[in-house]
């Protein structure tokens, strides 16, 4: 097997978006090479009853999922088991196809293990994504569908875009995520207000029994974020995913003045906001933590702070295909050290 350090050097010679396309090609064809695919599943997919959870009737074999943004068009669901993920999240997709923002729109900061993206919900549209998803769903691991409005849809009609998407994906996914926190669609974050959230989740509750989560931005004051999360939960949200990328450009030297930052630069900011939200909402709803998680220590810290699940994206790019295996094995080691017999004992242990 090719060493990832070598492969990363090659991939990093290309522009980030080109490198992503090359990785997608490799992952899409991986299941056709059954020997390699099975080898990677056996090597990376950790099967241990201590890591298993049932949440809203969905079985999660381990707590590490792929965050939205990597598999925008549901073309890479199958290979996610080969990378060790316990669940995967596709999208963000919009009702109509969308080219996204002008290129270049993705930038690496290798010294900070961080990425800046201004993709703008580029995707092939809900009809194509749904067709791709139907080829693999239901799958061996849970699949979430992350949905957003089209750039050209005004705030006034945004609710209709989400209604269309919930209707399309509610039967072809295990859970749904409402994305109103990306910084790359103009005025999208303006929808992070109580009126819209109440209307949105009341509608979602009537349309489906599947869990529907709210994904929030890391750039709000903690008190504002907590109130919005409470509003969402009261209106029917199944849980909160915290956080999306940040527009705090001071976190990386020479950052662009547009798009959102992810990776190691976001770790502390994402953790601090998650911790504050968990203090208020742990035990009242399901919490998922994402943002700058690339090792077992950080993942374990988020679990102890109240996260039932965690998500990885940028860490996969910098650490490679063994990162999920290393996180899960590290969690098991830390559990043993602390005397925990099951992951359910770890979750929220800092708050008990």
Residues belonging to the active site: 182
Instruction: List all residues 6 or more positions away from 80 whose beta carbon is below 8 Å from its beta carbon.
Output: 66, 71, 88, 141
Query: Any known ligand binding at 69?
Result: yes
User: What tokens were used for 183?
Assistant: 């910084």
Was 245 annotated as part of a binding site? yes
Q: Is 118 annotated as a binding residue?
A: yes
> Is 57 annotated to bind ligand?
no
Please indicate if the annotation marks 314 as binding a ligand: yes
171 is in an annotated binding site: no
- Whether 244 has a binding-site annotation, put simply, is yes
Dist. CA 304–CA 351, nearest whole Å? 8
Hey, what are 170's tokens? 């509610």
Residue 340 among known ligand-binding residues: no
Phi, psi of 241 (to 5 degrees): -110, 120
Residue 70 among known ligand-binding residues: yes
DSSP H or E segment with residue 26:
helix 16-29
For the CA atoms of the chain, what is the radius of gyration? 19
Q: Which residues have C-beta within 8 Å of that of residue 263, sequence separation ≥ 6?
A: 109, 112, 113, 114, 115, 292, 294, 314, 315, 318
According to the annotation, is 292 in a ligand binding site? yes
33 is in an annotated binding site: no
Please tell me whether 125 is known to bind a ligand. Answer: no
Report the DSSP pairing between strands 64-66 and 87-93: parallel
Q: Is 146 annotated as a binding residue?
A: yes
117 assigned to a ligand binding site: yes
CB atoms within 10 A of CB 325: 18
Q: How many residues does the chain have?
A: 352
Strand order in the sheet with 114-117: 106-109, 114-117, 260-263
Q: Judge whether 103 is annotated as a binding position.
A: no
How do strand 87-93 and strand 114-117 relate by DSSP bridges?
unpaired
Residue 71 assigned ligand-binding role: yes
How far apart are alpha carbons 118 and 100 in whole angstroms? 8
Q: Which residues are annotated as a binding site?
A: 68-72, 92, 117-121, 146, 179, 184, 215, 243-245, 263, 292, 313-314
- Which residues sit in the known binding site for substrate? 72, 117-121, 179, 184, 244-245
Q: Which residues are annotated as a binding site for FMN?
A: 68-72, 92, 146, 179, 215, 243, 263, 292, 313-314
């Amino acid at each position: 097997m090719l060493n990832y350090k070598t492969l990363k050097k090659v991939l990093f010679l290309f522009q980030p978006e080109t490198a992503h396309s090359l990785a997608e090609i490799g992952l899409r064809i991986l299941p056709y090479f059954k020997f390699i695919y099975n080898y990677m599943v056996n090597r990376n997919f950790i099967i241990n009853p201590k890591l298993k959870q049932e949440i809203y009737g969905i079985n999660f074999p381990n707590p590490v999922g792929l965050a939205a943004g990597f598999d925008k068009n549901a073309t890479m669901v199958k290979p996610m088991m080969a990378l060790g993920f316990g669940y995967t999240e596709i999208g963000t997709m919009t009702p109509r196809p969308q080219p996204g923002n002008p290129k270049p729109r993705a930038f690496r900061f290798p010294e900070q293990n961080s990425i800046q993206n201004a993709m703008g919900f580029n995707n092939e549209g809900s009809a194509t994504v749904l067709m791709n998803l139907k080829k693999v769903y239901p799958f061996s691991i849970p699949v979430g569908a992350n949905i957003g409005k089209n750039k050209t849809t005004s705030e006034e009609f945004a609710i209709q875009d989400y209604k269309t998407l919930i209707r399309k994906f509610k039967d072809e996914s295990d859970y749904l995520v409402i994305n109103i926190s990306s910084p790359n669609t103009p005025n999208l974050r303006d929808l992070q207000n109580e009126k819209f959230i109440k209307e949105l989740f009341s509608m979602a509750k009537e349309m489906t029994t599947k869990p529907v989560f709210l994904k929030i931005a890391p750039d709000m004051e903690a008190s504002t974020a907590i109130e919005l999360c409470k509003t969402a939960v009261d209106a029917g949200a199944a849980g909160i995913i915290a956080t999306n990328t940040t527009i705090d450009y001071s976190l990386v030297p020479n950052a662009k003045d547009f798009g959102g930052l992810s990776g190691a630069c976001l770790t502390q900011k994402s953790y601090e906001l998650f911790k504050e939200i968990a203090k208020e909402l742990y035990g009242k709803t399901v919490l998922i933590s994402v943002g700058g998680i690339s090792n077992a220590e950080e993942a374990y810290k988020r679990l102890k702070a109240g996260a039932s699940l965690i998500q990885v994206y940028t860490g996969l790019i910098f650490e490679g295909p063994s990162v999920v295996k290393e996180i899960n094995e590290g969690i098991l080691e830390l559990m043993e050290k602390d005397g925990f017999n099951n992951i359910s004992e770890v979750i929220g242990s800092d708050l008990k």
